[in-house]
Structure 1
Amino acid sequence: MQLPNHCRLCPRACGADRAAGKPGFCGADDRLMVARAALHHWEEPCLSGDPQDVRGSGTVFFSGCPLRCCYCQNFPISQEGVGKAISAERLAEIFLRLQHDGARNLNLVTATQYLPWVICALDFAKQHGLTLPVVYNTGGYETVETVRALAPYVDVWLTDFKYASPDLAARFSAAPDYPMVAEQALRQMLTQTGVPLYDREGFLYRGVIVRHLALPGCVADSKQVLQILARLQLEIGISFVPSLMSQFTPFYKAAEHGLGRRITTYEYRQVIEEAIRLGLTHGYMQEKSSAREEYTPPFDLEGV
């Protein structure tokens, strides 16, 4: 395992000497930091089942993030450094324990800043019996090179497509290049992963889920995102599972950036109607009542 001495793992390409302990833009240095590893019941039903499913998705939350989303619901770990330093060997043990505990899949949340450790741990775990589908849970801000490097490891991409507007991406996530980067990454995810495949119980074991979180006051941008997604699906000829989310809650610094309220039923209905118009109907939408804090687990180092 070789740590980057000029880090380019994410699109920031900040060049941090991580091998010497210098943190990158994402906050990660020469340590592997994990905040939680447990069965999780609040992903899309094809990944974690319904809330009463005792198995759920075997979710590992990593610390740090290449984005700076002002409304991040996981801000204690993405922005504030909550987490515990562990070894790649320990990470592999966690993967195997989640499988033993009955997880339906292995769900890696915001893992790119730790790619050398993650690949090492997946190799070790597979050598010792890991057979779960691997879900890569990402904000969508990935390089094509990173997506390609994960081709032998990732079965399901659970990716966001947050913005069509560079201005909104800069304002809310400090990433004006997000729309271009996310489109290129998604194109690669679809090309190398293929159409959605489900097991006999209806759980996804290969394919791409594309999430879009509708933001208050940003209906026009949400519609543009859906138009991009529909165009990509038509161009590439490979389907994905759309997941339109209404659960926005003004966490962290959202109010300071003009996002101090939840979306209205009327706003979300406009987004859904655009998805229907574009034929993006073979996926998920949330009830308006889904905007609840319970979707955010406690980052208390459980399972780490």
Structure 2
Amino acid sequence: MLEGVVDIYMPDFKYGDYEKALRYSKAPNYTKYAKESLIEMQHQVGDLVADENGIAIRGLIVRHLVMPNNVADSKKVLEFIAKEVSGKAYVNVMAQYYPTFKAHQFPEIARRITIVENKEVLELARQISSEFRFAE
């Protein structure tokens, strides 16, 4: 329904694993639907295109939140983006995870991420696709 209407999509792809999406966000089938949505968005608008001033005018920007203890399964997320969406995707690797709401019920996510955890995900992204473009 949105084909030809939307110029820029900026979705989150949080979990690369079905069970973790269900456990931490109570989101059954999250990974399946996120993947389907990203493929469709890429089909509709393609890789990000910016004007001469660096302002985005069309395309897809995928946001991925780094989580403590690799709960997001960042490797699965980034590999999917590179192989199934675009090896030239614009990926916003986000380091601002903050434990709120019921995070205290899960010790593995009841803390902020470390600088090392964030750097590991950025390095992983660079290894997976040397053509990824980043917003950090």
Q: Does 1:232 align with 2:81?
A: no
Correspondence for 1:182: 34
Correspondence for 1:200: 52
Work out the percentage of aligned pairs sharing the same amino acid.
37
Correspondence for 1:264: 114
Displacement over 6 Å in runs of 4+: none
Could you tell me how far 1:240 is from its partner in structure 2? 2.5
User: SS in structure 2 opposite 1:261?
Assistant: coil
Structure 2 gaps of 5+ residues are none
Distance in structure 1 (CA, Å) of the matches to 2:123 and 2:50: 27
Could you tell me how far 1:257 is from its partner in structure 2? 3.0
Alignment counterpart, residue 66 of structure 2, candidates 208, 214, 222: 214
More relative contact order, 1 or 2 (CA 8 Å, 6+ apart): 2
Could you tell me how far 1:219 is from its partner in structure 2? 5.8
Structure 1 gaps of 5+ residues are 1-148, 286-304
Correspondence for 1:248: 97
Distance in structure 1 (CA, Å) of the matches to 2:31 and 2:84: 13
Could you tell me how far 1:195 is from its partner in structure 2? 2.5
Q: Does 1:284 align with 2:104?
A: no
Give me the TM-score of the superposition, normalised by structure 2: 0.89
Could you tell me how far 1:194 is from its partner in structure 2? 1.8
Correspondence for 1:38: none
Distance in structure 2 (CA, Å) of the matches to 1:174 and 1:205: 34
Q: Which moved more, 1:218-227 or 1:259-268?
A: 218-227
Distance in structure 2 (CA, Å) of the matches to 1:224 and 1:152: 30
User: SS in structure 2 opposite 1:206?
Assistant: strand
Q: 1:226 to 1:278 in 2, by over 3 A?
A: same
Distance in structure 2 (CA, Å) of the matches to 1:165 and 1:198: 32
2:20–2:72 contact (8 Å) kept in structure 1? no
Q: Which has the larger radius of gyration?
A: 1
1:168–1:176 contact (8 Å) kept in structure 2? no
CA RMSD of aligned residues (A): 1.8
Alignment counterpart, residue 168 of structure 1, candidates 14, 17, 20: 20
Could you tell me how far 1:220 is from its partner in structure 2? 7.2
Letter in 2 for 1:217: N
User: SS in structure 1 opposite 2:36?
Assistant: helix
1:219–1:267 contact (8 Å) kept in structure 2? no
Residue pairs, 1:115-194, within 5 angstroms = 149-194=1-46
Structure with a larger share of its residues in helix: 2
Give me the TM-score of the superposition, normalised by structure 1: 0.42
Residue pairs, 1:22-37, within 5 angstroms = none
Give the aligned length: 134
